[in-house]
Structure 1
Amino acid sequence: MNATANVDPNEIAKFSELAHRWWDPTSEFRPLHEINPLRLDWIIAQCGGLAGKRVVDVGCGGGILTEAMAHAGAEVTGIDLSEKALTVAKLHALESGAPVHYEMIAAEAFAEMHPDTFDVVTCMEMLEHVPDPASTIRACAKLAKPGGTVCFATLNRTAKSYLFAIIGAEYLLQLLPKGTHDWQKFLKPAEITAWAETAGLTPKAIIGMGYNPLTKRYFLTDDVAVNYLIALAKW
């Protein structure tokens, strides 16, 4: 791995340890499976459909969203720096028949090789795990074609997110392993928007995601104080 890559080795190791459980819907990755349909539908709405479009999923992990976008008709490439996660993703794609191309490479390096290439760029739950999120945002902007759509999903740095995403999700409800997130690395929408605009992206839409512990269901909401998705356009 390139020593100058925008990556935290501890974060890669943390998710690599769990890689074999990525496609188990009852595992630590259960929340990703349950929110995937919500995310997919929202991304489709923001980009006017995925059929026939070139898409790159930055920080794809085991490929849950990556495969879903391929099944929706997109030509999808998934990139990540976890060799174990990518191995799982490739094996699952062989089993499911999803036409996905996977590559182990940093977003910044991939952007240098493929500037202005993709109709849609997705980067889900990655910005809060890298040392320099602004660098990742610049790379995603560079990968998008003019007129393309870039979608991020991350967590807001608020008192409510500490209560719900750390105390609630990791310790009380045990939806995620303890230590999955570092609240200080959460990102406010204004921070992402500022970095994105500097990189040539214009905000299009933002929406929050909530969880009902009684029904055990996730839902989209206007409240962006905890989890949120933001779509931006490259002009």
Structure 2
Amino acid sequence: MEPRMATIDTAEADFFGALAGDWWDPNGSSAMLHRINPVRLGYIRDALLAKGGDARARHLLAGTTALDVGCGAGLLAEPLARMGAAVTGIDAAPENIAAAQAHAATGGLTVTYRAAPVEVLAREGATFDLVTCMEVVEHVADRPTFLSALRTLTAKTGMLIMSTPNRTALSYATLIVGAERIARTIPRGAHDWHKFVTPGELTAELAAAGFVVTGTRGLTWRPGTGFVLGRDTSINYYLTAVPA
């Protein structure tokens, strides 16, 4: 494990590292992420196409570099690699990185995984065409420093895609009470509602870090359909930003 830095909340990293063993089990502790992942990939694809990507391309990310921040066991990093990107995944929990490396090896995928904070990569000077940061910003210890590092890591012509819960009464009722305490579809204790960030707050903080937000979509559950993207950002939302 590379040095822990200001953005890493040790308790959060330890909590999610303890879940590494069943991360790839669609019925395990990360079941909700498995259900959301197709929506994530759809949002990423739409953002790439809006930026000029070729809808006919078999490998939409061919010839590009991608960084998945807070990659867990590789649930998003692996599909990005299959889309043609040279992918690096970083996570604060070494247990997650070990699980990610093992799973990629069984599938014959080449993904570079590191148990490292964003500050380490930012200091090294690497930049990426696509930076993804899904359900992570609500877990970091120092958000301004974290976002500044993301800006350093995003190439001048690159793009940042994030998702995170909104801080509303509805998100508390849905995610904390409903999903964690009652339905147990999310591990209890996975979230601290007070660390949730509103779209307005995140947009302003991204601007301070040197980004311009170019798109925002909400994530909701539709009975009979599942998770869908739309205008309602009251529970969870996706956001695209580019360097200013």
TM-score w.r.t. the length of structure 2 is: 0.91
User: Structure 1 CA distance, aligned partners of 2:16 and 2:45?
Assistant: 27
Distance 1:176 1:209 in 2: 16
Corresponding position of 2:228: 219
Paired with 1:41 and 1:97, the residues of 2 have a C-alpha distance of: 24
| Residue 133 in structure 1 maps to residue 134 in structure 2 | no
Per the alignment, residue 171 of structure 2 pairs with: 161
Residue 44 (structure 2) aligns with: 43
Of stretches 45-54 and 141-150 in structure 1, the one that deviates more from structure 2 is 45-54
Pairwise CA distance, 1:97? 1.5
What code does the residue aligned with 1:221 have? Answer: G
The corresponding residue for 1:110 is 121
Q: Is the 8 A contact 2:180 2:189 kept in 1?
A: yes
1:90 aligns with 2:101: yes
Mapped to 1, the partners of 2:156 and 2:109 lie a distance apart of: 27
- When the two structures are aligned, how many residues end up with a matched partner? 233
Q: CA RMSD in A?
A: 1.4
Q: Distance in 2 between matches of 1:99 and 1:137?
A: 27
Q: Which runs of 5+ in 1 are unaligned?
A: none
Does the aligned pair in 1 maintain the 2:64–2:84 contact within 8 Å?
yes
The question of whether the paired residues in 1 share the 8 Å contact of 2:3 and 2:116 is answered with no
**Distance of 1:3 and 1:201 partners within structure 2:** 25
Q: Following TM superposition, by how much is the alpha carbon of 1:172 offset from its aligned partner in structure 2, in angstroms?
A: 2.4
CA distance in 2: counterparts of 1:135 and 1:229, whole angstroms: 20
What is the one-letter code of the residue matched to 2:238?
L
1:209–1:226: 8 Å Cα contact kept in structure 2? Answer: yes
Structure 1 counterpart of 2:197: 187
Pair 16,50 (structure 1): closer, same or farther in 2 beyond 3 Å: same
CA contact (8 A) 1:44 1:50 kept: no
TM-score (norm 1): 0.94
Q: Which runs of 5+ in 2 are unaligned?
A: 54-59
What secondary structure is seen at the aligned counterpart in 2 of 1:77? strand
2:78 matches 1:77: no
* Rounded Cα–Cα distance in structure 2 between residues aligned with 1:114 and 1:215: 46
CA distance in 2, matches of 1:64, 1:114: 26
Aligned to 2:66: 55
Instruction: Report the CA distance between 1:114 and its aligned residue.
Output: 2.6
Please give the alpha-carbon distance, in whole angstroms, between the structure 1 residues aligned to 2:215 and 2:84: 23
Aligned-partner residue type, residue 86 of structure 1: I
2:167 and 2:197 in contact (8 A); partners too = yes
- Residue of structure 2 in register with 1:232 after alignment: 241
| 1:41-96 residue CA offsets vs partner (Å, 9 max, x unmatched) | 21122133422210000111111000011111111000112110000000000011
Task: State the percentage of identical aligned residues.
Answer: 39
TM-aligned CA deviation for residue 143 of structure 1? 0.4
- What secondary structure does 2:189 align onto? coil
- Cα distance in structure 1, aligned partners of 2:109 and 2:36: 19
